[in-house]
């Protein structure tokens, strides 16, 4: 079964490259998801993007007024070279933007943080015990509805409700971010 999924992955990657025209946006700032979906970027606000932090494969960006070190606020996302940079406020974090790995029916992002119960501890040791281990999580932006979800077991089960073989593969697998990415690429190719 794993071989069949990997073979499907190569086909799906080809599809994602072909379908990128369907999800092609102008470079610029977008105030809302509706603006992104309608490809209506803010045209008259010069800005610059800056890498704020990059560690262990996760890069976080900021957007600033051109020529100043003042953050631009109230932006849903921005697009640069067909990559969507999603505001982390959309999934419960704040202060940075994440770059999409790919865009299809589901745009896929990754961020690093701890379990839901401990997401605000950010791995800081406390007197109550050791630091909470953080891990890389997939973040999904549904390009039809605008909903942003963490790629948790519960959310993946809902996405894979019509694909029991793929759900079983996920359950039997390592549940790594690479495996989740493969599943989302496959879903994007099957939702053409």
Cα 41 from chain centre: 20
Residue 110 forms beta bridges with which residues? 138
CA–CA distances in Å: residue 190 to residues 105, 124, 158, 163 = 10, 41, 15, 10
Q: What is the mean pLDDT of residues 116-139?
A: 57
Higher pLDDT, 134 or 123: 134
Using CA atoms, how far apart are residues 50 and 127, in angstroms rounded to an integer?
Answer: 36
What's the pLDDT tens digit per position in 99-110? 999 999 999 999
Residues 6+ apart with CB under 8 A from 153: 175
What's the pLDDT tens digit per position in 129-163? 445 557 899 999 999 999 999 999 999 999 999 99
For 86, the token pair is 């999603």
């Amino acid at each position: 079964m794993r071989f069949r999924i990997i073979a499907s992955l190569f086909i799906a990657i080809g599809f994602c490259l072909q379908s990128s025209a369907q999800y092609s946006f102008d470079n610029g700032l977008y105030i809302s998801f509706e603006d992104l979906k309608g490809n209506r970027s803010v045209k008259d606000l010069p800005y610059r993007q800056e890498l704020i932090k990059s560690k262990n494969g996760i890069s976080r960006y900021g957007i600033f007024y051109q020529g100043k070190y003042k953050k631009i606020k109230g932006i849903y996302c921005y697009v640069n070279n067909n990559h969507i940079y999603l505001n982390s406020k959309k999934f419960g974090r704040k202060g940075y933007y994440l770059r999409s790995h790919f865009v299809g029916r589901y745009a896929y992002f990754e961020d690093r943080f701890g379990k839901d119960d401990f997401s605000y501890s950010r791995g800081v040791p406390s007197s109550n015990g050791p630091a909470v281990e953080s891990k890389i999580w997939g973040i999904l932006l549904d390009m039809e509805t605008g909903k942003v979800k963490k790629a948790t077991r519960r959310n993946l089960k809902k996405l894979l409700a019509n694909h029991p073989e793929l759900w079983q593969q996920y359950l039997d697998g390592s549940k790594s971010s690479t495996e989740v990415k493969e599943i989302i690429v496959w879903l994007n190719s099957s939702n053409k």
